[in-house]
Structure formats: C-alpha cells, structure tokens
Amino acid sequence: KAGVTQTPRYLIKTRGQQVTLSCSPISGHRSVSWYQQTPGQGLQFLFEYFSETQRNKGNFPGRFSGRQFSNSRSEMNVSTLELGDSALYLCASSSADRGISGYTFGSGTRLTVV
C-alpha cells in the first residue's frame, strides 16, 4: 500500500512569506502528526490531528498552524516565515484502532527560508 506522501519535497521561500505543506496519510489512517527537524533542535513535535480535530500541540508559536480534511489529508501552514523556520518538516500517520502500530513517516518537505 502507498506510504505517507508529502508535497512538495523541496521549497525555497523568502523571509516574511507564508508556506503551506501537504500530507496524505496511509489509506485508513485517521491520525496525522507533524514534526520539525533541525540540526540544532532535532525532531520536535508540532501538532497532531485526529478526525479533523487538533488533539495535541507542541511548543511552537501561533505562526504554525494546521488542519485536517475529511479524507484525513492534512496541511500545515507557516506564516511570516523566519530564517529559523528552515527545516525538514515531517508528517506521520497512524491507525485509529486500539492496536499499537507505531507511526509511519513520510520523506518530508525540506523548507529553506532565505
């Protein structure tokens, strides 16, 4: 079955702009999480959506937001980009049943802010 798909793979934006990243989870997975990875801070949890509702949010400013659609696809948006937002943004999906299945990650979107 298809894995987690993230688009675009690479993105270059200018400081002050905004950006929208997309994530399509594995078919049947209802939960989508987003992570930011930088060399300095490592992998950090941004937020998690389940059935179109944000359930958890990490310690990031309000410039970072997201949403989930009825088909479980998710988008994250970063407004007023800063140089420090340059990072690999990873999306992960998990199934909604009570089985413990771990998370499947996508390959990420590498965002460069100049």
Partner 1 sequence: DAKTTQPTSMDCAEGRAANLPCNHSTISGNEYVYWYRQIHSQGPQYIIHGLKNNETNEMASLIITEDRKSSTLILPHATLRDTAVYYCIVRLYSGGGADGLTFGKGTHLIIQP
Cα separation, 104 vs 92, whole angstroms: 5
Q: Out of 24, 31, 68, 72, which residue is the one contacting partner 1 (CB under 8 A)?
A: 31
DSSP H or E run through 91: strand 87-94
In SS3 terms, 14-77 reads as: CCCCCEEEEEECCCCCCEEEEEEEECCCEEEEEEEEECCEEEEECCCCCCEEEEECCCCCEEEE
**Does 25 contact partner 1 by CB under 8 A?**
no
By CB under 8 A, the residues from 39 to 58 that bind partner 1 are 42-45, 47-48, 50, 55-56, 58
The binding track of 69-98 with respect to partner 1, each residue x by CB under 8 A or -, is ---------------------x-x-x-xxx
Q: Out of 33, 68, 72, 74, which residue is the one contacting partner 1 (CB under 8 A)?
A: 33
> What is the contact surface with partner 1 in residues (CB under 8 A)?
4, 30-31, 33, 35, 42-45, 47-48, 50, 55-56, 58, 90, 92, 94, 96-98, 100-108
